Structure 1
Amino acid sequence: MKKLSYILATLILTIIGCQPKKLDEKLVTNLILGKNHYPAIVHHDIFCGDPTHAYTIFKSGLVEKGFVKVLQSKKFGDTTSFVSFTPAAKPYLLHTPADDKISKIQRVKVADEEFGAIKEIRMMSSGNKAIVEYTTIRRKNVFAAAIKNGLKDTLNHEVYFIRTDDGWKLMDKKSEFEFLSY
């Protein structure tokens, strides 16, 4: 019985001792990629029945490139959409929920968001908490021109890590107060 307790104590100490004490870039990158599933698709909703949205699409240059057709005018009572998509736009069209289709909304892919790099790892004084800043890069496509204010090429993100008995964990989106009180 004594041997069993010694073996269990040794095994537990070995497991606890093998947990990474320091949070390095490789571990941070693996945890972020596992949680956020990069590359991610960035989408935008196009309101095909809205004349102001149709004007924005018209000014974006997508008509000249052959991806969309914009109806310049329509008669009273006409229920056709102001914006329609050509076969060239098919690779950029995403699945749209049924409620949105009824309202003549089409979801399009405007960019792929990829993991960029770790900017900074700030360890808290306790050594059990860390704040990590990283960037993501957006690879835009032709439909990015449809967004009125444009898309940023890079985004900065801040995530929180906590070391538990099982190792380092990436926290879900919580307030900074909850992070500090953990």
Structure 2
Amino acid sequence: MVKTLVFLVGAAMLVSCSDLDNDRVEELLTAESVYPRTVDIRVYCNDQTTAREVVDNNLSRHGYVTAQFVHTPEDIGKPLITFTEQAKPFLLETNDTLRAIDVQRVKVADETFRHVRNIEINPKGDKAVVDYTTELVNRTPFIVLYRQNVAGDQLRRTFFTKKNDRWTWDGKIVKMQKPEM
């Protein structure tokens, strides 16, 4: 009786490890540190178009940046856009190469896993294509500069391979377009 119970518990654990469902997909992506992830943009601080965009989107009016549209003789060598103290919580580490050309990485949001929409497993049972959604949370004031769709859920596709009765993530995520209604 005890042996049967141990066998059934072990079999149930094996089956739960091999099944690919919403919880297992989320668990695998979390274990790989895919989500949550920081979504960021690069702000080109010497670009006149970007300076106009930060002003048009009220980032200067709300005190996150100061911006001017042209360099005066006194400003040569200084960026057109500078970030204020109020913006510091959203500024991300930027490598020396980017900083040398006056580019700053800025956080716009965090992307988190929501739920699986569809799982297609090949007939052999060793490959899976998973469509799922994510959500942008903890949006910063700089989200207004993000050029991708931020409304509603974000559609994603990823791939898994099953080896030795264990699903592993293939390391690739494809951003999907929302279907036209």
Please state which band the TM-score falls in when normalised by the shorter chain: 0.7 to 0.9
Partner residue of 1:19 out of 5, 14, 26: 14
CA distance in 1, matches of 2:121, 2:168: 14
Instruction: Name which of structure 1's ranges 71-80 and 110-119 shifts more when overlaid on structure 2.
Output: 71-80
1:54-107 deviation line (CA, Å, top 9, x unaligned): 111111110111111112443247222110111100100111101111111111
**Alignment RMSD:** 2.4
Instruction: Name which of structure 1's ranges 136-145 and 67-76 shifts more when overlaid on structure 2.
Output: 67-76
The answer to whether the 8 Å contact 1:129/1:163 transfers is yes
Aligned residue type for 1:35: E
The answer to whether the 8 Å contact 2:43/2:105 transfers is yes
The answer to whether the 8 Å contact 2:22/2:115 transfers is no
Partner residue of 2:131 out of 130, 133, 139: 133
For the pair 1:38 / 2:13, whether they are aligned, the reply is no
Seq. identity, %? 28
Partner residue of 1:98 out of 96, 99, 116: 96
How high is the TM-score relative to the length of structure 2?
0.78
Secondary structure of 1:173's counterpart equals strand
Aligned residue type for 1:48: C
Match of 2:142 in 1: 143
The 3 A distance-change label for structure 1 pair 156 and 88 is: same
The answer to whether the 8 Å contact 1:110/1:143 transfers is yes
How high is the TM-score relative to the length of structure 1?
0.78
Figure out how many residues of one structure are paired with residues of the other and give that number.
160
5+ residue gaps in structure 1? 1-14, 175-182
Give the C-alpha shift of residue 34 in structure 1: 1.4
Secondary structure of 2:171's counterpart equals coil
The answer to whether the 8 Å contact 1:131/1:160 transfers is yes
CA distance in 1, matches of 2:76, 2:98: 19
Give the C-alpha shift of residue 19 in structure 1: 3.2
Instruction: Name which of structure 1's ranges 15-24 and 31-40 shifts more when overlaid on structure 2.
Output: 15-24
Q: State the structure with more CA Rg.
A: 1
The 3 A distance-change label for structure 1 pair 130 and 73 is: closer
5+ residue gaps in structure 2? 1-9, 174-181
For the pair 1:168 / 2:167, whether they are aligned, the reply is yes
1:138-166 deviation line (CA, Å, top 9, x unaligned): 1222101123x354243211122222115
Secondary structure of 2:72's counterpart equals coil
Aligned residue type for 2:53: T
Aligned residue type for 1:118: V
